[in-house]
Structure 1
Amino acid sequence: MADVLGYVGKRVIVTGCFSGMGEATARLLLDLGAEVHGFDYKDTSLKLTSFTNVDLRDPASIDASVAKLGGKVDALFNCAGLPHTFPALEVMKVNFLGTRHLTEQVLPLMSEGGAVVSIASNGGLGWSRNIPANMELIATPGFAGGLDWCERNADKVGGGYAFSKENIIVWTQFTAAQTIKRGIRLNCTLPGPTQTPMMKDFHEASGKDMVDSMMGPIGRYSTPEEQAAPLVLLNSDLAKMINGVVLPVDGGFMGALATGQVDLSRMMAKKG
């Protein structure tokens, strides 16, 4: 079969490759002939070209890992993340501040044709109503500047998870308009509920009924593999004109929500 996605021989980084969507993404990229380099806090069992332990809460760890890898990078897959059950600042560090910092360190290693995709979440759907706060954080200089902003704006950060995902969405759209001038694309996905090891944390934090209400018309959770495929597509040669896109990967939830086919009272119910 022809290499229609263009990954044969491409040098790619996958964060969060230990489990879930990140592991599924790395597996698919290996099958497609990519040279896969994994970054994660936990060791992976996958046979990658290289693996580096990275703590996204620590910019020095990120800097050292990118410096160790060096060389040209063709694509970056930001799949690492923490759920609601961690402290808000820890979630912000991993889900947004560390992800942004890593991307900023990798971008200089990319040339025209490079691409970045990040996993956001349907949990960040409030971004369009919260753009002023999102833009304040996005405008901060570096990891330390962003962390300082979060510490001073605990009321806006809230529990951390939703706000971190809002910022991935807005940062992707904002930054994509800048990087495309160098021929580098940025996109992100909005997964619906997905059967990963983190799902128990989502059930604990929000209640299973509320999580189930976001399944939408498909009536089931997605698999990590079903989330990995759109990530791989967005960074592929077939998606050369797709930039700054926030792609729902939710079995029709967003469409059903927009057309009044989702029970909002069930979504808004608090865990009892």
Structure 2
Amino acid sequence: MSDLLGYKNKRVIVSGCFSGMGEATARLLLDQGAEVHGLDFKDCALDLASFHNVDLRDPASIEAGVAAIGGKVDALFNCAGLPQTCPPMDVMKVNFIGTRHLTEQVLPLMGPGSAVASISSTGGMGWSRRVPVIMGILQTRGYQQALDWCEANKDTVAEGYSFSKEAVNVWTMLSGAHLIKKGIRINCTMPSPTQTPMMSAFEAATPAEVLQAATQPIGRRSTPEEQASALVVLNSAAAGFINGVVLPVDGGFMGGVATGQVDLSAIMRRAAG
């Protein structure tokens, strides 16, 4: 039972490893004995097996980064992301379009028993009400088609953040059904507010009442390490029968909303007023 998670000597890729949840994920994987390869727009200070500067806003950069790693890949952790204070199309490129493209480049390097885990957000909790719309972007093929769809549907994209996370959620569930035929699992997490360097951007763009509501019922923000643990478990041997799951990692927030103990709609109305 000493290697329950099964990462010793496994080759893994972590995008967004410079800071926050991605950096915490890479550190935890190193502690578990994995061979960690990092991708990020900014340089990473961790002692990784390799690191490559990759811009998820540029498909050629993504392709070059994956090609530089090469070889067999046992797990991919999609941790890179942008907040809603960035230009909407950049948010869509990084949070969904580039993340999907990166995954599609890595999948040919994966075999049975491998897994993908992505970071979504409780900001994408409204996915179930918009599945027909979200399927529009999911039915695109390739980076440019997805970007063209966004340009043609700017009202739907809006600020980019919520829609990008909704897209990650539905893409995960959709992909799980066919990737498992190849023995590859894919899941994602929906973190509640987490104390990372990106949090200052969320504080600037989101009413304090809304952020506070999203920390209920536990009453605090999560740490990057708490979010990293969930991702690492999802991609581990211990989670070998978990597939196509959108996992809230939120201290009970989604459960509170579903049972009426957290009335987010009332909070939103007060924030707007």
SS at match of 1:217: coil
The 1:134/1:245 distance shift into structure 2, 3 A limit, reads same
Return the alpha-carbon distance in structure 2 between the equivalents of residues 5 and 251 of structure 1.
23
- Please state how far the C-alpha of 1:12 moved relative to its aligned partner: 0.1
- Please state how far the C-alpha of 1:216 moved relative to its aligned partner: 1.2
Name the aligned partner's letter for residue 212 of structure 2.
Answer: D
For residue 47 of structure 1, what is the aligned residue in structure 2?
47
Return the alpha-carbon distance in structure 1 between the equivalents of residues 98 and 28 of structure 2.
24
SS at match of 1:113: coil
SS at match of 1:117: strand
**Identity over the aligned pairs, expressed in percent?**
66
Q: Structure 1, residues 96-131: CA drift from partner, whole Å, max 9, x if none?
A: 000000000000000000100000000001100110
- Please state how far the C-alpha of 1:2 moved relative to its aligned partner: 1.5
Moved over 4 A (4+): none
Contact 2:36–2:49 (CA under 8 A) maintained in structure 1? yes
Query: Is residue 190 of structure 1 aligned with residue 183 of structure 2?
Result: no
For residue 33 of structure 2, what is the aligned residue in structure 1?
33
Stretches of structure 1 that go unaligned for 5 or more consecutive residues are none
For residue 170 of structure 2, what is the aligned residue in structure 1?
170
The 1:117/1:268 distance shift into structure 2, 3 A limit, reads farther
Return the alpha-carbon distance in structure 1 between the equivalents of residues 133 and 260 of structure 2.
28
Q: Structure 1, residues 199-223: CA drift from partner, whole Å, max 9, x if none?
A: 1100111122211110011000000
Figure out how many residues of one structure are paired with residues of the other and give that number: 272
- Please state how far the C-alpha of 1:271 moved relative to its aligned partner: 6.0
Contact 1:12–1:74 (CA under 8 A) maintained in structure 2? yes
- Please state how far the C-alpha of 1:56 moved relative to its aligned partner: 0.2
Tell me the C-alpha RMSD between the 2 structures.
1.0
Contact 2:209–2:271 (CA under 8 A) maintained in structure 1? no
For residue 256 of structure 2, what is the aligned residue in structure 1?
256
Return the alpha-carbon distance in structure 2 between the equivalents of residues 268 and 252 of structure 1.
22
Q: Structure 1, residues 160-188: CA drift from partner, whole Å, max 9, x if none?
A: 00000000000000011110000000000
SS at match of 1:218: coil
- Please state how far the C-alpha of 1:3 moved relative to its aligned partner: 0.9
For residue 57 of structure 2, what is the aligned residue in structure 1?
57
SS at match of 1:220: coil
For residue 208 of structure 2, what is the aligned residue in structure 1?
208
Name the aligned partner's letter for residue 154 of structure 2.
Answer: A
Contact 1:11–1:36 (CA under 8 A) maintained in structure 2? yes
Name the aligned partner's letter for residue 266 of structure 1.
Answer: I
Alignment of 1:240-255 (within 5 A): 240-255=240-255
For residue 70 of structure 2, what is the aligned residue in structure 1?
70
SS at match of 1:221: coil
Contact 1:213–1:267 (CA under 8 A) maintained in structure 2? no
The 1:88/1:270 distance shift into structure 2, 3 A limit, reads farther
- Please state how far the C-alpha of 1:270 moved relative to its aligned partner: 3.7
Name the aligned partner's letter for residue 169 of structure 2.
Answer: I
Name the aligned partner's letter for residue 248 of structure 1.
Answer: P
The 1:236/1:268 distance shift into structure 2, 3 A limit, reads farther
For residue 179 of structure 2, what is the aligned residue in structure 1?
179
Return the alpha-carbon distance in structure 2 between the equivalents of residues 179 and 131 of structure 1.
20
Compare 202-211 and 147-156 and name the one that shifted more. 202-211
Stretches of structure 2 that go unaligned for 5 or more consecutive residues are none
Contact 2:56–2:94 (CA under 8 A) maintained in structure 1? yes
For residue 266 of structure 1, what is the aligned residue in structure 2?
267
For residue 100 of structure 1, what is the aligned residue in structure 2?
100
Give the TM-score, by structure 2 length.
0.98
Q: Structure 1, residues 237-271: CA drift from partner, whole Å, max 9, x if none?
A: 00010000000000000111111111321144446
Name the aligned partner's letter for residue 68 of structure 1.
Answer: A
Alignment of 1:127-166 (within 5 A): 127-166=127-166
Return the alpha-carbon distance in structure 1 between the equivalents of residues 92 and 136 of structure 2.
14
